[in-house]
Amino acid sequence: MVGDAFSYLKEYNEIAAKNKKDGHFESSDEFLSNMKKTDRLHPVISLCVYYGEEPWDGPLCLADMLEIPEKVRPMVSDYKMNLLQLRASETCDFQDPEVAAVFDISRSIYERDYQRINTVYKNRNITSELGIVIGAITQSQKLIDHALESERKGGQVNMCTALEELMNEGKLEGRREGRLEGIQATISTCKSFNASKDVTVKNLMKVFSLSEEDAAGYVEEYW
């Protein structure tokens, strides 16, 4: 809302400066405002592009952020937001094919629909720049690294190869999450048997092949 207001103010200042320089005002009102009766500003249309993996659950207008008594609600000026959610963009028709690819691939990655990407983009390469954008949106460092490597080689990103790395990354992440759950369960068990922190640290070091520093860190975090 503030950004829109400054955009309108910028255009007003430009029109006012021009009118003041020309000096052709038809009334004192025009002279005082530096705006002619026929002057008009261009509409400012702001679009919020939300590319988070979770659905948008924030306000959609100014009224959603206000505590308004019903008797004054009709007098409150609302300000609606134009929201475009990546997760709900399947019905959008983008004229730019690169923008369409970014939304389509990113949405499919969020939905773990790798088969669809493999089918649609099997014989289609995308630029390394798009690969970096998709990697940044989906927070996939593997995809970013793959795109940067392709850029250094002067080529494009093959989504089939990138998908293999993404799936391998997902498997690795799953193993990491499983290991963390095991560490948490071990700490919880030690606590239930009234074991000391020192004993718990030694158990973690033995079971999960952790350094003493790492084991102590987990104990302090999840004790």
pLDDT tens string 96-142: 988 998 999 889 888 878 778 778 877 777 888 888 888 888 887 77
The neighbouring-strand residues paired with 85 are 50
Query: What was the pLDDT predicted at 212?
Result: 86
- How many residues are there in the chain? 223
Could you tell me the pTM of the whole model?
0.60
Q: Please return the burial class of 204, using the count of CB atoms within 10 Å of its CB with bins 0-12, 13-18 and 19+.
A: buried
Residue 92, both tokens:
């959008």
Q: Is 47 helix (H, G, I), strand (E, B) or coil?
A: strand
* Dist CA 198 CA 137 (whole Å): 42
Instruction: Give residue for tokens 């021009």.
Output: 18
Instruction: Give residue for tokens 């207001």.
Output: 5
Query: What was the pLDDT predicted at 129?
Result: 85
Q: How does DSSP classify residue 67? A: -
Q: Where are the domains of the chain?
A: 2-86, 90-170, 193-222
Q: How confident is the model at residue 172 (pLDDT cuts 50, 70, 90)?
A: very low
Residue 188, both tokens:
């919880």
Mean of all residue pLDDT scores within the chain: 84
Q: How does DSSP classify residue 42? A: P
pLDDT tens string 6-40: 999 999 999 999 999 998 899 999 999 999 999 99
Share of the chain above pLDDT 70, in %: 89
Compute the chain's Rg from CA coordinates: 28
* Dist CA 13 CA 127 (whole Å): 41
* Dist CA 5 CA 12 (whole Å): 10
| Largest interatomic CA distance in the chain | 90
